[in-house]
Structure 1
C-alpha cells in the first residue's frame, strides 16, 4: 500500500491524493464534496479542530480500517483550508481535479464542491439571513444554482473558459462569504481591542 502522502507535510494536498485516502477509508464521499463541506462549515463560523472536524461534518471513519497516517492528511487538509480562508492575500482555491484531467470531470467536481459547501454551511449553524448582506445572499443563491447544475459540453475551448470563470467566481465568492459570516481569527479580535 502506498502511504507516501504521509511523509510530505509541506506540499499542498491534491484532489487525487485526497480521493485515494477517502476511498481507502471507505468514507463514501468524493474529494471535492468533502473539501466543499469543510469550506462551507468554516465559512459559516463552524467551530472544529484538526482532530474533530470530520465528526462535525457527521463523517466517521470505518473502525475496521486502519486510519493511521491518512487521518494526519485529513488533519492537514483542515489546517490548509482554514489557513487559506484566513489569508488576506486571497489564497483560497476549491480542491478540484488537476487541469490535465478531462473537462467533464473537473466540471462535475465543481458541482459536487458547491453541493458540499452548502451542506457544510448548513452544519455550521450560521443564520444565513442574519449573517449575509444582499451581495452575500446573491452569491449563495448562485452557489445553489451551480450545485443544481448539470453541464452540457459543446465547444471545448468555450467550455474551458466558462469553467475558469465559474471557478474564479466561486473562489472570490467564498472569500466574501467567509468575511461576512465567520468570526475574525483570535489575533484580529485581540488586535482590535488594543486599538480602543
Structure 2
C-alpha cells in the first residue's frame, strides 16, 4: 500500500498566499514533519495552528492543498514502506530554487522538531548526529556554479534529509509507542 501523495509545491504556495501566510511551502512542510517527528500532539483540524504556534490561525479547508499536505505527510511518516517525501519545488525548477527550498525545509523541520520534542528528546546517537547534520545543512550558504553537479549534490543531500527524518520520527514517535505497547 502506497502512502498518499503530497500536493504540488505550487498548490501549497497558492493556498498559503490565499491565507495571507507569508511562509514558504517547503518550510511549512519541514515544520509539519518536524513537529510530527518530535512527537507533537496533532490532528487534522489543529495541526496548522500547532505548527504555526498560533491558536488563532484558521483550520485549513478540508480537502485543500494544506489538508492534503497534512494527511499525506502523516501517512508517509507512519508508512513501513519508507515512502516519505520532502515537499520541494518540482525537478524542472532551477537548482538554486530547489536548493534554497531544501534549506528552508530543514529550518522548518528544526523549528517544528524543537517545538514538539523539547530540549532533551529521546535520540539515539545516530539520530543526534543526523539532527546536528540537518542543522549544518539548514545554516549552509549555497553557491550554484555547476548546475549539473549541483543538482546531483542536491539529490544526495535531499535523500540524506529524508532518511534522517524517518530516523528521528522512529526514535521520538515509533519507539516510545512500541515501548508503551510492550508495557
TM-score (norm 1): 0.82
Q: Distance in 1 between matches of 2:73 and 2:151?
A: 25
Q: Which runs of 4+ in 1 moved over 2 A?
A: 59-63, 67-73, 127-130, 183-186
Between the aligned partners of 2:30 and 2:50, the Cα distance in structure 1 is 14
Question: Partners of 2:65 and 2:176 in 1: how far apart?
Answer: 23
Contact 2:6 2:73 (C-alpha < 8 Å) held by counterparts: no
Q: What is the aligned counterpart of 1:81 among 49, 73, 76?
A: 73
Contact kept? 2:9, 2:87, Cα under 8 Å: yes
User: Which shifted more, 101-110 or 144-153?
Assistant: 144-153
Shift of 1:185: 9.6
Contact 1:45 1:183 in 2 (8 A): no
Partner of 1:178: 169
For 2:143 and 2:155, how far apart are their aligned partners in 1?
15
5+ residue gaps, structure 2, are: none
Question: Does the Cα contact within 8 Å between 1:27 and 1:59 map onto a contact in 2?
Answer: no
Larger Rg: 1
CA contact (8 A) 1:36 1:116 kept: yes
Match of 1:33 among 27, 33, 47: 27
Map 1:109-124 onto structure 2 (within 5 A). Answer: 109-124=101-116
SS at match of 1:177: helix
Equivalent residue, structure 2, for 1:17? 11
Which of 115, 122, 136 is the matching residue for 2:127? 136
Contact between 1:27 and 1:62, CA under 8 Å: does it hold in 2? Answer: no
Partner of 2:83: 91
Runs of 5+ consecutive residues of structure 1 not aligned to the other structure:
1-9
Describe the shift of the 1:114–1:104 C-alpha distance in structure 2 as closer, same or farther (beyond 3 A). Answer: same
Map 1:32-111 onto structure 2 (within 5 A).
32-57=26-51, 58-59=53-54, 69=61, 72-111=64-103
For 1:104 and 1:155, how far apart are their aligned partners in 2? 11
- C-alpha separation between the residues in 2 aligned to 1:32 and 1:59? 19
Is 2:84–2:162's contact at 8 Å kept on the other side of the alignment?
Answer: yes
Q: Is the 8 A contact 2:49 2:56 kept in 1?
A: no
- How far the C-alpha of 1:189 sits from its partner, in A, is 7.6
**Aligned counterparts of 1:68 and 1:113: Cα–Cα separation in 2:** 20
Q: What is the root-mean-square deviation of aligned Cα atoms in Å?
A: 2.5
